[in-house]
Structure 1
């Protein structure tokens, strides 16, 4: 078991460990020049980080940063790949999880194109809670804007809308979910689609 400290970079290339979070949240970020910290995925207690390395790749165009602190089980990439070769059940489980990740990427592209920032923010908060099992988060507007690929002023407006409706409390980089049911109503349909996908696949 390893401690996941906020801001820790788990790997960029040549990773020798695969992580299975118990709590906390890992953010998978783009390494591009235009949006260097744009979030393309998140991993919490529902999944694992290290798919490219588990499949034998030596590098990736993304890196993983710990967004919320917690703990994780870790295993050597070599040991995992050896077990994967001999364990049919593990192969099937990994294939199902990879399918979920691919579906999430499709969903993210659609979400960015067709849904409002307020809907996307609500979805992001719900997904963060699902994966970290926390009602409170320490995250700045600058970080949220970077993760969602928008300007800070947009995050301010979206967060203020949720706060004025009594759904969240947001002050000095600290977010508290006050009414999850109402937050679900504010989120785009992508959230429910992804929840159903997890239930059906895993």
Structure 2
């Protein structure tokens, strides 16, 4: 186990590639995207301190089914896959905790599928901004229109139009790759149901349980 610091855009996994480490972000925001044959991609999940990436392939010895990279720079902890498997064999409580982390990410991926298929761009953008702010705990987020287009799986012009509407409503200020949240309650109202659904499920899955069985430190 070792502390890691990641820069924006840094790659952690490639689709079909090996998973030699599991990563537990503390201040970073990690993006999980699905890559199509023509190179286009769309985000499946945004992972921060509430979860981790690479857990299931690290535990099973499998390969990554997605591309994972650093969305928002920050730090975290990385654990070699072999060491994680060794600890898991020794602690059923740790396995339970890791599976809860994995379920949080899986639930977000499932919600993203429904969101991308059923909801308009503006509420999806509002949801994504809220998730990003949760990761950084900051009013100003370093987000470009090109990056937002990739995350939402739409054209850059579509993102620009959606951001302009949120800006006109007084919810955000956006200029030169810097997006400032002006009215978070308003942004939550503008967001689709998916933000609250994932947040509530995360709270239930990761709520502390009273137990004498302590998994101990990783």
Same fold (TM over 0.5): yes
- For residues 165 and 180 of structure 1, the distance between their equivalents in structure 2, rounded to whole angstroms, comes to 12
Which 4+ runs in 1 deviate beyond 6 A? none
Normalised TM-score (structure 1) = 0.94
Instruction: Tell me which residue corresponds to 2:214.
Output: none
Match of residue 55, structure 2, among 38, 47, 51: 51
Residue 122, structure 1, aligned to residue 126, structure 2? yes
TM-score by length of 2: 0.88
CA distance in 1, matches of 2:51, 2:40: 24
Of residues 133-142 and 76-85 in structure 1, the stretch that sits farther from structure 2 once superposed is 133-142
Gaps of 5+ in 1: none
1:23-46 superposed Cα distances (whole Å, 9 cap, x missing partner): 021111222124533111111111
Q: Equivalent residues in 2 for 1:17-166 (5 A)?
A: 17-34=21-38, 36-166=40-170
Q: For residues 192 and 35 of structure 1, what CA distance do their matches in structure 2 show?
A: 31
**Of 1, 4, 7, which aligns to 1:2?**
4
Give, in angstroms, the shift of residue 54 of structure 1: 2.1
Q: Give, in whole Å, the separation in 2 of the partners of 1:105 and 1:162.
A: 25
CA RMSD in angstroms comes to 1.4
**Structure 2 unmatched runs, 5+:** 207-218
Secondary structure of the residue aligned to 2:154 is: coil
Bigger shift: residues 103-112 or 30-39: 30-39
Q: Distance in 1 between matches of 2:200 and 2:12?
A: 29
